[in-house]
């Protein structure tokens, strides 16, 4: 049975005042409409809610029961309204965020702290995925935003480059060439390389390959991994050498040395989302992301 919230508010006022005149004054209406509303409510419920005469008004047992339920329903109604307004304003709800592991060393942790401080009622669901997986999920609506390595994205997907940095050579700390701070990439021509997976990021694979070719050799790629942290971990286990984004030096993985080398290529991290999938919460978070990395306007 649907109960008009207006009728419930009128009934609560009468139940608390036990006087139609005072209840009408409290509701800022005249007494006749209030009396009519109470009769309408009694007819709807098919129950007498009030005992009333010229001097007194008292709740019946049915009226006392309705009063308790009416208070709950009105409170719940107010909470639902507040929830809907809060979600519409982007201040409450859930946002699903994909990220590549290297973003943890490119300012993502600080950004997440800002999210929690400014939107404490928003649930931030984090999923560590490679770039290809994120692109697919964002396109299908499984993620609201994604932090990826630079990759071609489908038509209709927005992509904003956030941060770029050079690459570094990553060597086991006991490697014969790991003692200095810089290295000539050509010195690694005979080494076994560990590359970021060609399947999951063809663009990064080609970037690493092109740097080796520019240094005068074709690398012997013996192993591939889906995540940069996996690449670095394999290097730390002395299973090969690699070229990785410089930010991984901040990972503090043991058993590694990161050396600079001469090159012009950059490792780029980007934000992706689907503008066609409307979300006030997502848009509010994108505004913060732009501010965090110093971007303004649309991509």
Q: Could you tell me the pLDDT band of residue 236, with boundaries at 50, 70 and 90?
A: very high
- Is residue 144 a contact partner of residue 95, using CB atoms and an 8 Å limit? yes
CA 136 from centre of chain: 16
The sign of the CA dihedral 290, 269, 160, 86 is negative
Looking at residues 49-64, what average pLDDT do you find? 84
* Residues pairing with 93 in the sheet: 122
Tell me the average pLDDT of the chain. Answer: 87
The sign of the CA dihedral 19, 25, 26, 32 is positive
> How many residues make up the chain in this entry?
299
| DSSP code string of 200-254 | T-HHHHHHHHHHHHHTT---EEEEEESSHHHHHHHHHTTS-BEEEEGGGGGG--T
CATH number, residue 82: 1.10.10.10
DSSP single-letter state for residue 182: B
One domain, residues 129 and 171: no
Q: Is the pLDDT of residue 160 over 80?
A: yes
One domain, residues 226 and 283: no
Q: Could you tell me the pLDDT band of residue 71, with boundaries at 50, 70 and 90?
A: confident
298 within some domain: no
One domain, residues 247 and 207: yes
Q: Is the pLDDT of residue 135 over 90?
A: yes
pLDDT of residue 108: 92
299 within some domain: no
Looking at residues 17-39, what average pLDDT do you find? 88
Q: Is the pLDDT of residue 286 over 50?
A: yes
* Burial class of residue 82 (count of CB atoms within 10 Å of its CB; 0-12, 13-18, 19+): exposed
175 within some domain: yes
- Is residue 230 a contact partner of residue 249, using CB atoms and an 8 Å limit? no
One domain, residues 126 and 211: no
One domain, residues 141 and 273: yes
Q: Which residues contact 12 (CB under 8 A, 6 or more apart)?
A: 67, 70, 71, 74
- The two three-digit tokens of residue 149, written as one number: 């390595």
Residues spanned by the domain of 186: 167-265
297 within some domain: no
Instruction: Report the distance separating Cα 78 and Cα 74, nearest Å.
Output: 6
Determine the longest span between alpha carbons in the chain, in angstroms.
Answer: 105
CATH number, residue 119: 3.40.190.10
| Count of C-beta atoms within a 10 Å radius of residue 271 | 22
- Is residue 128 a contact partner of residue 228, using CB atoms and an 8 Å limit? no
Q: What is the pLDDT of residues 91-131, one digit of tens each?
A: 557 899 999 988 988 889 999 999 999 888 888 999 998 88
Looking at residues 266-275, what average pLDDT do you find? 94
pLDDT of residue 221: 94
Q: Could you tell me the pLDDT band of residue 298, with boundaries at 50, 70 and 90?
A: very low
Q: Is the pLDDT of residue 167 over 90?
A: yes
One domain, residues 122 and 179: no
242 within some domain: yes
66 within some domain: yes
Count how many domains the chain has.
3
One domain, residues 199 and 61: no
Q: Could you tell me the pLDDT band of residue 204, with boundaries at 50, 70 and 90?
A: confident
Q: What is the pLDDT of residues 254-268, one digit of tens each?
A: 999 999 999 988 999
One domain, residues 31 and 177: no
- The two three-digit tokens of residue 64, written as one number: 């006392």
């Amino acid at each position: 049975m649907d109960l008009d919230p207006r009728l419930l508010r009128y009934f609560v006022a009468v139940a608390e005042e036990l006087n139609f005149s005072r209840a009408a004054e409290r509701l800022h209406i005249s007494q006749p409409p209030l009396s009519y509303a109470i009769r309408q409510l009694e007819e709807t419920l098919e129950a007498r809610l009030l005992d009333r005469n010229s001097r007194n008004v008292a709740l019946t047992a049915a009226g006392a029961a309705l009063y308790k339920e009416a208070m709950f329903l009105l409170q719940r109604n107010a909470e639902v309204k507040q929830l809907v307004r809060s979600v519409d304003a982007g201040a409450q709800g859930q946002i699903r965020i994909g990220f590549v592991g290297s973003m943890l060393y490119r300012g993502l942790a600080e950004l997440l702290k800002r999210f929690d401080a400014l939107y404490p009622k928003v649930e931030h669901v984090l999923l560590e995925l490679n770039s290809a997986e994120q692109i697919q999920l964002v396109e299908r609506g499984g993620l609201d935003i994604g932090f990826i390595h630079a990759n071609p994205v489908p038509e209709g997907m927005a992509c904003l480059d956030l941060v770029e940095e050079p690459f570094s050579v990553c060597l086991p700390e006991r490697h014969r060439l790991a003692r200095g701070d810089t290295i000539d990439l050509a010195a690694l021509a005979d080494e076994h390389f560990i590359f970021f997976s060609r399947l999951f990021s063809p663009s990064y694979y080609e970037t690493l390959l092109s740097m080796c070719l520019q240094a005068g050799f074709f690398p012997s790629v013996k192993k591939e991994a889906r995540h940069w942290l996996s690449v670095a971990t394999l290097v730390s286990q002395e299973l090969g050498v690699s070229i990785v984004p410089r930010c991984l030096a901040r990972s503090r993985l043991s058993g590694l040395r990161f050396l600079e080398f001469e090159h012009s290529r950059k490792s780029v991290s980007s934000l992706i989302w689907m503008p066609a999938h409307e979300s006030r919460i997502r848009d509010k978070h994108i505004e913060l992301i732009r501010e965090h990395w110093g971007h303004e306007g649309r991509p």
